[in-house]
Amino acid sequence: MLDKLLSWDEETFLVINRDWVSPFLDWLLVPARNPLTWIPVYAFLLLFLVINFKKQGWITIGMVVLCFIVTDQLSGHVIKPWLERVRPCNDSYLAEYVRQLVPCGSGYSFTSNHASNHFGISVMLMLLIGRLAWWVKPLLLLWAIVVAYAQVYVGLHYPIDVIGGALLGTLTALALYHLIHKKIAFIS
């Protein structure tokens, strides 16, 4: 069963990384995975929360930062060193087939920090402000999906890495929300 799953993972990686490509997707997805690209989004979210929700906005920002820290630490400092899954661009079998659009790096692959962090941030924001700003939910989800997909597209992660990261970020946001939000006055 595990062999079939890993085989599917490699095959799907190669389809996304080598077959489902275009100059437009190169232009869109290479910068989409770069945190600096999202500075305007982060600035908008910060201003939106503080201006519209005052004190609760700052609490929301604190919850999002806490979620980011937890997902980043779990993914990068617990799961990756424990499982030691090699990135596809560093895999001796696959490396020659990988269409590498960004430097590979030497870190491990499972789970994707980009996916876990962005899904954690997105789900936490959806939980905290989604009822008051319902229109933001699909945008947040799309943002997380694009960042996660871009990690596979550029050659850094297998699909299971980003799926695992998405699950980690989502579960972390849900757990933190349910643990903390009842203890403080919240906007949702």
Q: What confidence score (pLDDT) does residue 184 get? A: 57
Q: What confidence score (pLDDT) does residue 4 get? A: 93
> Given a cut of 60, is residue 116 above it in pLDDT?
yes
Amino acid identity of 85? R
Q: Across the strands, what pairs with 86?
A: 108
Count of C-beta atoms within a 10 Å radius of residue 45: 20
- CB-based contacts of 80, cutoff 8 Å, min separation 6: 107, 108, 109, 110, 111, 113
> Given a cut of 70, is residue 182 above it in pLDDT?
no
| Alpha carbons 92 and 70: distance in angstroms, whole number | 32
Please give the average per-residue pLDDT across 130-140, as a whole number: 81
* 103-113 core/surface letters (b: 16 or more CB in 10 A; e: else): eeeeebbbbbb
pLDDT per position as a tens digit, 11-62: 999 999 999 999 999 999 999 988 888 899 889 888 988 998 888 888 889 9
* Comparison of pLDDT for 73 and 185, the residue scoring more: 73
**Residues 180, 63: contact at Cβ < 8 Å?**
yes
Q: 25-29, long-range: CB within 8 Å, 24+ apart, which pairs?
A: 25/153, 26/101, 29/101, 29/146, 29/149, 29/150, 29/153, 29/154
Q: Find tokens 């643990």 and name the residue.
A: 179
Q: What is the DSSP letter of 87?
A: P
Mean pLDDT, the chain, whole residue set? 90
Q: Find tokens 């997105």 and name the residue.
A: 122
pLDDT per position as a tens digit, 161-181: 999 999 999 999 999 998 887
| Alpha carbons 80 and 16: distance in angstroms, whole number | 23
- Residue of 135, 100, 101, 142 whose CA lies nearest to 118: 142
Q: What confidence score (pLDDT) does residue 188 get? A: 47
The domain 38-183 having CATH identifier 1.20.144.10: the answer here is: yes
Q: What confidence score (pLDDT) does residue 3 get? A: 87
